Amino acid sequence: MILTKTVIIKCNYNNKERFLLRGYPWEQGKRIEVNVSDLSPYSAARIDVKCFYCKEIKVRRFHEVHQLMKKNPLGRYSCFKCGHLQAKEIAAWKQSKGLLKRTEKRYWSYKENRLKELKKYIEEYGTLEGMYKLSNLPHIFFVYDHDVKEAIIELGYSVEELTQTKKHYDDYHVIKGKMEGFKALYKRLPSYEECKQSLQISMNHILKYGGMNKIKTLFELNDSRNTVYLKQLLRLYFEQHGIDYTENKEPFSNYAYRSDFTAYLSKKIHIEIWEYPPNDYDNIHQYYNENRREKERVYTLYAISYLSLYSEDFQKNTYEKISNLFKNL
Ligand SMILES: [Zn+2]
């Protein structure tokens, strides 16, 4: 709280308009007494100010105090050492108005927010399987000594139901994994029919996530990974070095699998770009990996040579790495 009511200021051309407009007897070079409420937000006038929290009175520059009070939605002045009390009070005020954001640290200190986020998670995923991997909620609950299972019950859900694996397909990451697996083999997404027939994903599950187009965006299957970048650099390399190549060729007579590239070097070589590293045992990518192993098995079966590139290995100095690789072939 500002205690000073009036201050003496020196008239100069910078404050001429302000004070004349407010009815003061402004005269260049003179000192006049003005109300603190008439000062410019940039005024360096010294004023007495009392901390709302510890009641200590200090002399500070008007513009500093003005800035600090402007930041506080309650319009209160706090001294430096009471900053934490002020922050707590502001958070409580924001929380009461629904203005506290998830990105603010204090957001999670409110039990109602933790419950709200947990409910959101359960509604989105429909299962607690993989929660530790997909969300930092367990960690947050732990920090606040808040029991997740108790919270689930409080929200009216059944812990048993949410942990049962028969709800497998309700976890869309499983569907995502299957679709990625399909895409890795055929270089395109499955049709509705293929979903049903080959992937055993029911129409209900597809509709649950808003249909195929929605799933494509939802699952970010629309070629947004860095394999796209890697492919472009490969094309560039082949073109610059006069290497003949084709894309999406089917190497095997009895399988509709396609390779990403076929390059015609001293001998023909197929190139496979994999989205995940070979020893990625992540459950989410399990179906993808199973399909990759199957495809690799077929390569071996047909004794067809191929080159595996892992997009992860090519995130830095991609062009240089590609050059080195092909120089050694
Ligand atoms: Zn204080």
Segment 87-107, tens digit of pLDDT: 999 999 999 999 999 888 889
Distance CA 90, CA 256 (A): 62
A 10 A CB-CB count for 115 gives 15
- Beta bridge partner(s), residue 269: 263
- pLDDT tens digits for range 34-56: 999 999 999 999 999 999 999 99
Q: Does residue 143 sit within a domain?
A: yes
Tell me the backbone φ, ψ of residue 47, rounded to 5 degrees. Answer: -135, 160
> Same structural domain for residues 14 and 85?
yes
Residue 78 Cα to ligand 1 middle (Å): 5
> Same structural domain for residues 234 and 299?
yes
Distance CA 232, CA 238 (A): 10
Q: Does residue 243 sit within a domain?
A: yes
pLDDT at 74: 87
Residue 164, pLDDT > 50, answer yes
pLDDT at 46: 95
> Same structural domain for residues 33 and 71?
yes
> Same structural domain for residues 268 and 292?
yes
pLDDT at 200: 76
Tell me the backbone φ, ψ of residue 58, rounded to 5 degrees. Answer: -135, 160
Residue 83 Cα to ligand 1 middle (Å): 8
Mean per-residue pLDDT of the chain: 84
> Same structural domain for residues 191 and 202?
yes
Q: Last residue of a domain, which of 152, 168, 184? A: 168
Q: Last residue of a domain, which of 218, 250, 278? A: 218
Structure tokens at 176: 């995502």
Residue 81 Cα to ligand 1 middle (Å): 6
Residue 77 Cα to ligand 1 middle (Å): 9
Residue 197, pLDDT > 90, answer no
**Residue 291 belongs to a domain with what CATH number?**
3.40.960.10
Residue 49 Cα to ligand 1 middle (Å): 11
Residue 10 Cα to ligand 1 middle (Å): 31
Q: Does residue 191 sit within a domain?
A: yes
> Same structural domain for residues 276 and 315?
yes
- How many structural domains compose the chain? 4
> Same structural domain for residues 323 and 245?
yes
> Same structural domain for residues 157 and 183?
no
> Same structural domain for residues 178 and 155?
no
> Same structural domain for residues 81 and 131?
no
> Same structural domain for residues 233 and 323?
yes
Domain carrying residue 137: 105-168
> Same structural domain for residues 256 and 290?
yes
Residue 95 Cα to ligand 1 middle (Å): 23
Query: Strands, DSSP E only, in the chain?
Result: 6-10, 31-35, 46-50, 57-61, 244-247, 261-264, 268-274, 306-310
Whose structure tokens read 């007495």?
48
Q: Does residue 1 sit within a domain?
A: no
Residue 44 Cα to ligand 1 middle (Å): 22
Q: Last residue of a domain, which of 63, 90, 117? A: 90
- pLDDT tens digits for range 65-78: 999 998 888 889 99
25 contact partners, CB below 8 Å, separation of at least 6: 32
CA 225 to chain CA mean position, Å = 15
Distance CA 58, CA 259 (A): 75
Q: Does residue 96 sit within a domain?
A: no
Average pLDDT (119-128) is 83
